[in-house]
């Protein structure tokens, strides 16, 4: 019997796996999809919020501020792209100004460091492209940007190196209480565990419902984005927010940690958790609204539109609790869930200890990770690494200068990718201006050879997302 079974391998589930891997426990993490970070985390804004937005006294507020600091520490240890770029929340009129003043007070109560309200003139000195209509801004120097899917993958890989087992493609179909724990039925067999962690995101209420009637509801909320080319990456240095409203934090404009510019998201409730479709009408609204913050944005620099679906709940706070003896909910983790994830995992450990679990730390724990990123090496370092391994001298993704060596490194990780997007999430291949137009055939070939499958069987991402199609019975070269 397992000590802990974690259901869900998004940012919350992988953070939980990482935190629990520090202890002498037998832990398995499962996910319905075929890779880590395949749902909400893969289409995330990548923002580490400083903690001025949540209402003081809530779990969300406390875990946001704590999680922001833990994220900074983890990114340094696990070699995850991270940049503390700061943020503005801008006001266009007196109504907005009152919101900014309220957020400032929230920030003070939540102990967010170094926040201040600055004039529109001062804001434009710091961000020259900012609209002349801005009358003031909340300046939040502690806000940061990261690569959310790389964060989740790094947490999972480190957990795996510390003994956690990951089983992907295992969708939960039932849960029942048994002597000493729970039996969890999945599409990949049955798991028995003393404790179960429900980190199922969009499906958290459904998973909870297998055991008992849920007292909360998940409301899927879709957000649509523009991703602009690196030629637009220096439009702003900071993340620029408009004032939040009942739909969320509002449409923002932000540099990404990889040098692009991100615009969005929209906020629209959808019936299906998997409905990540985009549409022209909503995207036009996103662009028009964003242009109010930064006039003159050039839509021709857009290289991709995408959408993510967030797990909003009908509860105004995170749902973090022991719902039944040994059954822990980590549910309703909407924004700032990415920022709070390490602190949510820390809270889980506290809850497990309070429930009577004696958690003994391992004598040996791996908390460091290094990744080769060829594009950031100087000429001397490039020459040295190519001499050691010629695969680093073969560029596969020309837009991002990603080498064959980096892709092979991904295959050799504890949780190797099996899809084109799995490669993308680990080493950034296919993320550039051509969006995989040139490198995808080579990546498909590498995946096929590594996993000993035909190119026709290589997936873009989820099950059924075949890239290459052919006529059955006709051999392909």
- Hey, which residues are catalytic here? 49
DSSP 390: G
- Cα dihedral across residues 442, 443, 449, 450: positive or negative: positive
Pure H helices in 278-330:
280-293
Left if phi > 0, otherwise alpha if psi is -120 to 50, otherwise beta: which for 372?
A: beta
Query: CA-to-CA distance for 163 and 471, rounded, in angstroms?
Result: 43
Q: Quick count: other Cβ atoms within 10 Å of Cβ 350?
A: 12
Instruction: Specify whether the CB–CB gap between 109 and 52 falls below 8 A.
Output: no
Query: CA-to-CA distance for 471 and 463, rounded, in angstroms?
Result: 20
Q: Can you tell me whether residue 352 is helix, strand or coil?
A: helix
Hey, what are 136's tokens? Answer: 């003031």
187: exposed, middle or buried (Cβ count in 10 Å: 0-12, 13-18, 19+)? exposed
How open is the CA angle 308-86-257, to the nearest 5 degrees?
50
Q: Which long-range contacts (CB under 8 A, 24 or more apart) does 212-216 make?
A: 212/323, 212/324, 216/313, 216/314, 216/315, 216/319, 216/331, 216/332
118: exposed, middle or buried (Cβ count in 10 Å: 0-12, 13-18, 19+)? middle
Give the total residue count for the chain. 477
Hey, what are 39's tokens? Answer: 């749902």
Q: Can you tell me whether residue 88 is helix, strand or coil?
A: strand
What is the distance, to the nearest Å, from the Cα of residue 64 to the centroid of all Cα atoms in its chain? 15
Instruction: Specify whether the CB–CB gap between 266 and 242 falls below 8 A.
Output: no
């Amino acid at each position: 019997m397992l000590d802990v079974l974690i259901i869900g391998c998004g940012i919350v589930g992988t953070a939980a796996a990482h935190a629990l891997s520090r202890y002498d426990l037998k832990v398995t993490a499962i996910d319905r999809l075929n890779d880590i970070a395949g749902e909400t985390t893969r289409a995330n804004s990548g923002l580490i919020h400083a903690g001025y937005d949540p209402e003081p006294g809530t779990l969300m507020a406390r875990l946001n501020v704590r999680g922001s600091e833990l994220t900074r520490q983890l990114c340094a240890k696990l070699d995850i792209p991270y940049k503390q770029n700061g943020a503005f929340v801008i006001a266009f009129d007196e109504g907005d100004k009152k919101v900014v003043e309220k957020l400032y007070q929230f920030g003070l109560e939540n102990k967010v460091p170094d926040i201040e309200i600055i004039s529109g003139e001062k804001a434009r000195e710091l961000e020259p492209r900012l609209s002349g209509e801005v009358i003031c801004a909340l300046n939040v120097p502690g806000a940061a940007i990261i690569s959310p899917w790389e964060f989740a993958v790094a947490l999972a890989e480190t957990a795996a190196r510390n003994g956690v087992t990951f089983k992907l493609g295992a969708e939960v179909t039932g849960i029942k209480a048994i002597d000493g724990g729970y039996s969890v039925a999945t599409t990949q067999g049955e798991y028995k565990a003393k404790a179960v962690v429900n980190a199922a995101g969009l499906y958290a209420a459904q998973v909870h419902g297998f055991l008992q009637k849920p007292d909360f509801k998940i409301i899927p909320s879709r957000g649509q984005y523009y991703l602009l080319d690196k030629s637009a990456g220096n439009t702003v240095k900071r993340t620029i927010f408009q004032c939040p409203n009942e739909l969320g934090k509002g449409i923002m404009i932000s540099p990404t940690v990889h040098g692009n510019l991100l615009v969005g998201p929209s906020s629209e409730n959808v019936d299906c958790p998997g409905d990540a479709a985009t549409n022209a009408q909503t995207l036009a609204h996103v662009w028009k609204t964003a242009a109010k913050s930064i006039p003159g944005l050039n839509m021709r620099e857009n290289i991709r539109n995408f959408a993510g679906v967030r797990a909003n709940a009908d509860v105004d706070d995170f749902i973090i609790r022991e719902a039944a003896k040994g059954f822990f909910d980590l549910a309703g983790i909407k924004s700032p869930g990415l920022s709070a994830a390490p602190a949510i995992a820390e809270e889980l450990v506290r809850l497990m200890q309070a429930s009577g679990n004696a958690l003994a730390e391992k004598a040996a724990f791996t908390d460091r990770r290094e990744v080769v990123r060829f594009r950031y090496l100087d000429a001397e370092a490039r020459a040295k690494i190519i001499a050691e391994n010629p695969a680093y001298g073969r560029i596969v993704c020309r837009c991002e200068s990603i080498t064959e060596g980096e892709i092979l490194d991904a295959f050799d990780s504890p949780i190797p990718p099996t899809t084109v997007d799995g490669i993308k999430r680990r080493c950034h291949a296919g993320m550039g201006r051509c969006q995989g137009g040139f490198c995808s055939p080579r990546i498909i070939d590498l995946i096929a050879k590594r996993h000993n499958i035909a190119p026709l069987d290589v997936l873009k991402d989820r099950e059924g997302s075949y890239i290459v199609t052919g006529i059955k019975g006709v051999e392909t070269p």
